[in-house]
């Protein structure tokens, strides 16, 4: 929240302009002057911390990120993530919901243009192809849940399979854009794991296209998806492929997951792994972002049924 002090506001705005122009040292000095006038202005502590990171003053940056967390009502700026990346707090199991919601509210209007025009985003189409291999479409439509539905790109990819199509997303802005498409039976703003807990044995297919990059620990999600699926229902999702064991939070503020982490979790919860193949979900700065395209099946009564694997290679991928 901005203070009543007009001078502090003007200094904050000028510091931000200096930072944008690349004069980081001058911005740092002016942010500190702003805090002398408004020491409890949370957003200035965050902006100063960002600038201090750029000058390599990581310990001082961490102090201001921590101060921001004490002063802010919710972590819409993602200070918890920054502290984890600096090694001064544990890696969270998921990105702060307030941060994700704020990020995509701001991004909603230009989301599709950026993804499709600049990043060559292709996760929904890749998921549709994987699901078609696992269970070819018939004339009988499915009850489908689109987790983290965004503006509805995933829903569009699966619409022809759907008897009914439901979507949930943290961002009100994204939900508004998805609603414009007129393809969803119902859309709901909310956290995906909590939304799943309201449904038992309800869906034939649950999809999550480029959504799990905002979650580190996937166990709560997988457990609740399993409960929400009908018998022999499918769960199709993408993750960013990681090199390290388990999951890793990257500098781009997204999680990556090792194939072994996915395979182990699938086995522990009782899913059947239908397929896990390498893919490229998008490009960033001209570089391919490697992903895993996965399809799981909920067995009848969770017993170990013989379900044919379509994946290339062993059920549990080995580390490189």
Q: Are residues 188 and 77 in the same domain?
A: no
SS3 category, 229? strand
Determine, yes or no, domain membership for 233: yes
Q: Which of 310, 289, 235, 279 is nearest to 126 (CA)?
A: 279
CB 125 within 8 A of CB 158: no
Structure tokens at 4: 């009543």
pLDDT digits (tens, 9 = 90+) for 143-199: 999 999 999 999 999 999 999 999 999 999 999 999 999 999 999 999 999 999 988
What is the pTM for the complete model shown?
A: 0.85
Determine, yes or no, domain membership for 313: no
DSSP state, residue 135:
S
Q: Are residues 70 and 178 in the same domain?
A: no
Determine, yes or no, domain membership for 319: no
Domain count, the chain: 2
DSSP string, 270-320: T-EEEEEEEEEEEEETTEEEEEEEEEEEPPGGG--------SSS-SSPPP-
Regions in the chain scoring below 50 on pLDDT: 1, 302-320
Q: Are residues 128 and 263 in the same domain?
A: yes
| Per-residue confidence (pLDDT) for residue 146, from 0 to 100 | 97
Q: Are residues 75 and 121 in the same domain?
A: no
Q: Are residues 183 and 278 in the same domain?
A: yes
Buried b (16+ CB within 10 A) or exposed e, 263-293: bebbeebbbbbbbbbebbbbeeeeeebebbb
Q: Are residues 119 and 189 in the same domain?
A: yes
CA separation for the pair 172, 176 (Å, rounded): 6
Residue showing tokens 């972002």: 289
Determine, yes or no, domain membership for 308: no
Determine, yes or no, domain membership for 312: no
**Domain assignment of residue 283, given as a range:** 106-302
CA separation for the pair 275, 218 (Å, rounded): 18
Tell how strand 203-208 and strand 186-189 pair up.
Answer: unpaired
Q: Are residues 80 and 192 in the same domain?
A: no
pLDDT digits (tens, 9 = 90+) for 108-119: 787 777 766 667
Q: Specify the CATH number for the domain of residue 164.
A: 3.40.50.150
Q: Are residues 86 and 113 in the same domain?
A: no
| Per-residue confidence (pLDDT) for residue 319, from 0 to 100 | 44
Structure tokens at 121: 């985003």
SS3 category, 122? coil
CA separation for the pair 158, 112 (Å, rounded): 17
Determine, yes or no, domain membership for 274: yes
Q: Are residues 113 and 83 in the same domain?
A: no
Determine, yes or no, domain membership for 16: yes
Q: Specify the CATH number for the domain of residue 67.
A: 1.25.40.10
Structure tokens at 114: 């950026």
């Amino acid at each position: 929240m901005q203070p009543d002090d007009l001078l502090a506001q003007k200094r904050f705005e000028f510091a931000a302009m200096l930072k944008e122009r690349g004069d980081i040292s001058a911005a740092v000095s002016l942010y500190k002057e702003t805090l002398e006038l408004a020491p409890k202005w949370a957003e200035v502590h965050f902006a100063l911390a960002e600038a201090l990171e750029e000058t390599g003053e990581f310990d001082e940056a961490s102090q201001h990120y921590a101060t921001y967390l004490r002063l802010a009502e919710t972590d819409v700026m993602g200070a918890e993530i920054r502290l984890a990346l600096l090694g001064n707090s544990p890696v969270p199991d998921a990105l702060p919901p307030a941060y994700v919601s704020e990020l995509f509210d701001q991004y909603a209007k230009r989301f599709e243009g950026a993804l499709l025009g600049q990043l060559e985003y292709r996760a929904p189409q890749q998921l549709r192809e994987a699901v078609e291999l696992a269970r070819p479409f018939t004339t009988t439509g499915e009850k489908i849940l689109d987790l983290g539905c965004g503006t509805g790109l995933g829903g569009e990819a699966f619409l022809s399979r759907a008897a009914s199509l439901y979507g949930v997303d943290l961002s009100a802005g994204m939900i508004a854009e998805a609603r414009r498409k007129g393809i969803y039976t119902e859309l709901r703003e909310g956290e995906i794991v909590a939304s799943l807990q309201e449904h038992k044995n309800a869906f034939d297919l649950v999809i999550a296209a480029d959504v799990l990059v905002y979650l580190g620990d996937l166990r709560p999600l997988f457990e609740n998806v399993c409960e929400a699926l009908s018998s022999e229902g499918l769960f199709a999702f993408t993750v960013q492929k990681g090199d390290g064991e388990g999951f890793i939070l990257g500098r781009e503020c997204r999680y990556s997951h090792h194939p072994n982490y996915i395979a182990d979790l699938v086995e522990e919860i009782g899913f059947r792994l239908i397929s896990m193949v390498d893919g490229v979900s998008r490009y960033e700065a001209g570089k391919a972002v490697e992903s895993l395209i996965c399809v799981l099946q909920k067995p009848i009564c969770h017993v170990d049924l013989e379900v044919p694997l379509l994946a290339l290679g062993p059920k549990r991928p080995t580390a490189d």
